[in-house]
Amino acid sequence: MNGAKQKPLLRALAGERLDKPPWWLMRQAGRFLPEYRALRTRAPDFVDFCLNPELAAEATLQPVRRFGMDAAIVFADILLVPMALGQKLSFGEDGPQLEAIADRGAVERLRKDGIASRLEPVCETIRRCRAASPEQTALIGFAGAPWTVATYMVEGGGSRDFLRVKSWAYRDPEGFQALIDLLIEATIAYLGIQIAAGAEALQLFDSWAGVLPEAGFARWVIEPTRRITSALRARFPEVPVIGFPRGAGLLYERYAAESGVTAIGLDTVVPLDFARDRLQTRLPVQGNLDPVLLVSGGAALEGAVNAIRTALAKGPFVFNLGHGVVPQTPLENVAALARLLAEPL
Amino acid sequence: MNGAKQKPLLRALAGERLDKPPWWLMRQAGRFLPEYRALRTRAPDFVDFCLNPELAAEATLQPVRRFGMDAAIVFADILLVPMALGQKLSFGEDGPQLEAIADRGAVERLRKDGIASRLEPVCETIRRCRAASPEQTALIGFAGAPWTVATYMVEGGGSRDFLRVKSWAYRDPEGFQALIDLLIEATIAYLGIQIAAGAEALQLFDSWAGVLPEAGFARWVIEPTRRITSALRARFPEVPVIGFPRGAGLLYERYAAESGVTAIGLDTVVPLDFARDRLQTRLPVQGNLDPVLLVSGGAALEGAVNAIRTALAKGPFVFNLGHGVVPQTPLENVAALARLLAEPL
């Protein structure tokens, strides 16, 4: 067994059951941390911050320093890929804004070369984090999955009904496929340079997987993920990929069977019995505490954490939230969670 | 067989398989219709409009007149119940706004008596619609399910993370139960007077059922629905109740088994095989075309409609969308849908 494999996160992702589950939290580097808010004042523009390796590496490591998670996840954003493809990107009060693209012509005008060099600052962040991480802390790289990134590129930001992106996919599936194909290639390239820089595991965030009916889910969620995992496995067979098809609901099982991911992230509403009986029998699972419990704390938090561990810690398992940490999360509740997870069940 | 039972919608909800599926569309009375937009100018305030039986009845009947759906659904809003309970309600550009309530004390200050008289205008709308409906058109009454209505009452409007309402439910489940209990009673009373006024079937909209982990889903979605369906069945055994736990995903089956609903509404992402094999074997199903297909139209619309009918029309089935009609829907696509549904498969 080599040294890297002895990190608890990597052992769990390799299929090992651990007495004390490794843990990290989606959005663990973020606004609920006072030290993060202080750091952000040094680069108020969010894209600048992400592309500043000194600041991004510091943000990546802050939560691990405070709470001792088993993994750090590189501080970046899923929309850096569209930016690297030449789409204008900014972050305002209402979240991200992009100049929406609407047709195949716009896809063809995107920049297909030089993506790696434009995303090089993220790799530098990864190198710095690897150099400065505690020995047992694994470093996770990530990207948005093509469908989710495409929703932002086509809607021009967040959306409630996904009218533009779905309309395009329904009306002109071949044209939309051109965008997805481009994102598949860019994502493979991006994750490849993250691994080369030192990422030891990857997560693919498909935050909007849950808005597609089954046929679209198969074509725009599962198939792009399968192509990405297959290309990465050929080049980097030892690097696990956690797929997170948030909201996939009744399609979680099909995703687990067909997408080629190494492990699967469970959102907040995946029932624990189902996760244990239908997913964990196939691959390691990660999740799935409701982030609101980390805000409210107390007995409900403790009960839910124990229920998750009782159901899932008998197999390969990484403790996490089912969605990102929210800014209103009290620090003491995260500290209480860390203590809970350190206790035997 | 009495006359009412011969209406196709009621036959399907009673468990009968029909060659031509009865159909209606959630939000079929609404902004995509020019005649609705014209009517709204007569009462620009949305609450005033809902409480004006002449205008609300006209809005209810407009889509049926144009497209010949098998059902009309009374024009009203799920937030009329909190309004009748004394909560201030208005509708602006960003959707509904309510004076948020935050604790048990606020629940106790709500008005528990006279709900029926404050909601009497909706009953008058129902009486007018029954008098003016085509003979084969069934009239559907509705309410929001307690959990969904509570989300608006506690968040003060729409929400993305449901932080306030979930925090309350996690931190003080007994206090939150007082709000849910009040909503259960108010909903039973409200649906009872709708039936007395002439509603022939009911739908319970639980639009935010899909944001709760299983324990909360059981307590705040299934159990309140079970208490409502049980009270209604005792008094009005002949009136079917369609439950619509939107986003319930992996918990759809448990809802179907335990909530006591007569039929179940399927959201856009429920896989058809699952609906046929695990839900329709138990009760009639309704759904579940993606509303975006009604915007984009064409071959994708036709293919999806045929796929839904092929999967579900061999059992008791009501064709509908999986979510409401969106304002951008072209009239000709709804007309095309009506023609498609009139053809044999």
pLDDT tens per residue across span A80-136? 999 999 999 999 988 999 999 999 999 999 998 899 999 999 999 999 999 999 999
* Model confidence at A5: pLDDT above 90: no
Q: pLDDT of A221-261, one tens digit each?
A: 999 999 999 999 999 999 999 999 999 999 999 999 999 99
Report the domain count for chain B.
1
Local structure of B259: helix, strand or coil: coil
pLDDT of residue B93: 86
Q: B42-99 pLDDT, tens per residue?
A: 999 999 999 999 999 999 999 999 999 999 999 999 999 999 999 999 999 889 999 9
- pLDDT tens readout for residues A142-159: 999 999 999 999 999 999
**Per-residue pLDDT at A93:** 86
Per-residue confidence (pLDDT) for residue A345, from 0 to 100: 84
Strands (E), chain B: 71-73, 89-92, 95-98, 138-144, 201-205, 241-244, 263-265, 285-289, 317-321
pLDDT at B242: 99
Residue B1: pLDDT band (50, 70, 90) is: very low
Q: Please give the average per-residue pLDDT across A66-85, as a whole number.
A: 98
Q: What is the interface pTM, i.e. ipTM, of the complex?
A: 0.95
What pLDDT sits at residue B5? 58
What are the Cα distances from residue A139, in Å, to A8, A74, A316? 12, 7, 19
Residues above pLDDT 70, as percent of chain A:
99
- Mean of the pLDDT values across residues B148-169? 97
- What residues of B act catalytically? 27, 31, 40, 77, 152
CA distance to A12, A213, A271, A308, B175, per residue, from B252 (Å): 31, 15, 11, 21, 27
Q: Are A201 and A238 in contact (CB under 8 A)?
A: no
Give me the percent of chain B exceeding a pLDDT of 90.
Answer: 96
- Confidence at residue B144, expressed as pLDDT on a 0 to 100 scale: 98
Task: Report DSSP state, residue A301.
Answer: H
Chain A residue set in contact with B, beta carbons under 8 Å: 161-163, 166-167, 170-171, 173, 210-215, 217, 247-252, 268-272, 274, 288, 290-293, 295-296, 298, 300-301, 304, 307, 322, 326, 328
Neighbouring-strand partners of residue A98: A89
Range of the domain at A210: 4-342
Q: How far apart are CA A88 and CA A82, in angstroms?
A: 8
Residues of B in contact with A215 (CB under 8 A): 304, 307
**Which residue among B247, B269, B298 places its CB closest to the CB of A212?**
B269
Q: Which residues pair with A96 in a beta bridge?
A: A91
Decide the pairing of beta strands B89-92 and B95-98: antiparallel
Minimal Cα–Cα distance from A211 to chain B, Å? 7
Contact B189, B231 (CB under 8 A): no
End-to-end distance of chain B based on CA atoms, in angstroms? 28
Q: Is the peptide bond before B288 cis (omega within 30 degrees of 0)?
A: yes
Q: Stretch B222-236: mean pLDDT, rounded? A: 98
Claim: this prediction has a pTM higher than 0.95: yes
Q: What is the pLDDT of residues B13-34, one digit of tens each?
A: 999 999 999 999 999 999 999 9
Q: How far apart are CA B252 and CA B266, in angstroms?
A: 9
Q: Which residue of A has its CA nearest to B249?
A: A249
Whether pLDDT at B2 is above 60: no
**Under an 8 A CB cutoff, do A269 and B292 touch?**
no
Q: How far is B305 from chain A (nearest CA, A)?
A: 13
Taken in order B51, B52, B57, B59, the sign of the CA dihedral is: negative
| Mean pLDDT, residues B321-325 | 98
CA max distance for chain A: 57
Q: What average pLDDT does this structure show over B191-220?
A: 98
Q: What is the mean pLDDT of chain B?
A: 96
Active-site residue, selected from the candidate residues A36, A70, A152, A255: A152
Domain harbouring A9, CATH code? 3.20.20.210
Least CA distance to A163: which residue of chain B?
A: B292
Q: Which of A162, A163, A247 sits opposite B328 (nearest CB)?
A: A163
